[in-house]
Structure 1
Amino acid sequence: MQTTSRDTRTTGLVVALVLGLASALTFAVGDVAGALSPDPDALISFTWILGLALLVWATIAFVVVMALIVRDFASRRRPALIEALLVIATFAVIAATLAAHPLFGSGGGTA
């Protein structure tokens, strides 16, 4: 049963990482389109909404897997090295995406 739980956590972390990377790529495409297109409003809006949706799903997946890891850690089971590396990578991608494209305030929702 522990192997299945580890596989589930690892798969969840990979899904969160891929969603986070897809979100960052979507925001980057919107930035490039905004710089190159003479009338980029529709494309920027679409990429912003898509990037935000991907980022939200990445965060949800990350939080769910972190809850599983904390629960197992509380029962004295240590996470595997790959899980620890995936947690760090996923957190870094989500944090960097949020830092580069703030959801509100200065720069929020603008190219």
Structure 2
Amino acid sequence: MGTPYAWGGRTPDGFDCSGFTQHVYKQVTGRDIGGYTVPQENAGTQISVNEAQAGDLLFWGSKGGTYHVAISTGGSSFIHAPKPGDTVKNGDTQYFTPDFAVRM
């Protein structure tokens, strides 16, 4: 939490959205899910956003053309690296609604 957003960032010095999700999964599970949203879409099984549980990935955009990814923390909450000038923080699907999820 609080790590600055950095375009192309893949380390705790700065993350973009997919760099953040890649880093977390590698640290927690030892698994490399890829460094960009499209490979991460295929790292698990696609599910509806309503089915997402803590640890699943949430995606914005159409499959194959996603532009943002976050990690569900359960319910309507997620954690992500949102945009330049911001930091890694919590979000809520009520205010920023993903298009689909991937069960990890």
Shorter-chain TM-score range: under 0.3
Higher share in helix: 1
Structure number with greater CO (CA < 8 Å, separation at least 6) is: 1
TM-score when scaled to structure 2?
0.24
Higher share in strand: 2
